[in-house]
């Protein structure tokens, strides 16, 4: 029995840009069932152990690689997925392009002014101060989008409705397909 592949909406933005709030709204506005898979949930599943910095960084990398493969697995099984991630390192996008290459992916960039990111980060209290600032200039580097939203200028619901319309109207090839094609032969 052939399984229809699910779609992926990838939300990329700096920490505190509103990815999780937007993902929750997308689940509400989409007509079909969708799953929200945040990379933070994968980090939250991990046992907290004191590790030397190099071991911790290797663990973080494996966690993110596992996240990329889990999202792909859900879509290949026929599930629609809203994935929220921070593409602040080049290898993350490269791994996603490799793992999700044949899947139907809508790329969404979340933008927010740095002062607002800092305010949100401080109000949250669950982030290391300066996380958003460290990601601000690199998170969108080399990434192409089907849709870009400013979460400081519009409500999460308004952004979700716009994204729903983009997803409904999107024809391939889209931004993700162009990114995959730009990688060249492997």
* Alpha carbon distance 71, 101 (integer Å): 12
| Catalytic-residue membership of 40 | yes
* Alpha carbon distance 142, 144 (integer Å): 7
User: Which one is catalytic: 31, 40, 104, 177?
Assistant: 40
* Alpha carbon distance 64, 21 (integer Å): 21
Which residue spans within 48-146 are E strands per DSSP? Answer: 80-85, 104-111
Inter-helix orientation angle 156-169/19-29, to 10°: 60
**CA angle, residues 167, 117, 128, in degrees to nearest 5:** 115
The catalytic residues are: 40
């Amino acid at each position: 029995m052939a399984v229809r592949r699910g779609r992926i909406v990838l939300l990329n933005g700096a920490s505190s840009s509103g990815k999780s709030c937007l993902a929750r709204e997308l689940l509400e506005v989409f007509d079909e069932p969708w799953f929200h898979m945040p990379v933070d949930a994968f980090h939250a599943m991990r046992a907290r152990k004191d590790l030397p910095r190099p071991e911790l960084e290797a663990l973080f990398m494996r966690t993110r690689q596992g996240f990329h493969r889990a999202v792909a697995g859900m879509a290949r099984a026929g599930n629609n997925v809203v994935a929220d991630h921070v593409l602040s390192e080049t290898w993350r996008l490269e791994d996603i392009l490799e793992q999700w290459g044949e899947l139907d992916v809508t790329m969404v960039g979340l933008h927010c002014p740095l002062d607002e990111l800092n305010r949100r980060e401080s109000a949250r209290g669950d982030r290391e101060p300066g996380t958003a600032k460290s990601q601000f200039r690199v998170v969108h580097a080399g990434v192409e989008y089907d849709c870009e939203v400013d979460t400081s200028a519009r409500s999460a619901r308004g952004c979700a409705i716009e994204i729903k319309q983009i997803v409904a109207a999107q024809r391939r090839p889209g931004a993700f397909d162009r990114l995959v094609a730009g990688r060249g032969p492997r």
